[in-house]
Amino acid sequence: MRLTPRGGADRVDGVGEDGALHVRVAAAPVDSGANESLCRLLARELGVGRSGIRIVAGTTARRKVVAVSGIDAPAVRSRWPGLAV
């Protein structure tokens, strides 16, 4: 049997035609678990500290608005071309 490390399924699937970043997290949306996983994933992907990622809208929705500090918009767009920033 092969076990996947916790959080191993967290991933960025890319940018959709609407300019939204498509992300998958393994954590259930219970007690903010999925939101925390999302913030950790984005921090890791962007090379910023966890405290640099903050959900500003949509904490209970599938679509979220996230504020990122510690990196500028052109750097984020270069990471994910087509992203609406």
Task: Assign 85 a pLDDT band (cuts: 50, 70, 90).
Answer: confident
Please give the structure tokens belonging to residue 8: 């191993």
Please give the structure tokens belonging to residue 48: 């910023």
Q: Where are the domains of the chain?
A: 11-79
pLDDT recorded at residue 8: 59
What is the CATH number assigned to the segment(s) 11-79? 3.30.1200.10
- The tens digit of pLDDT for each residue in 2-56 reads 444 454 589 999 999 999 999 999 998 888 999 999 999 999 999 999 999 999 9
- The tens digit of pLDDT for each residue in 42-78 reads 999 999 999 999 999 999 999 999 999 999 999 999 9
- What is the rounded distance in angstroms from the CA atom of residue 62 to the CA atom of residue 35? 10
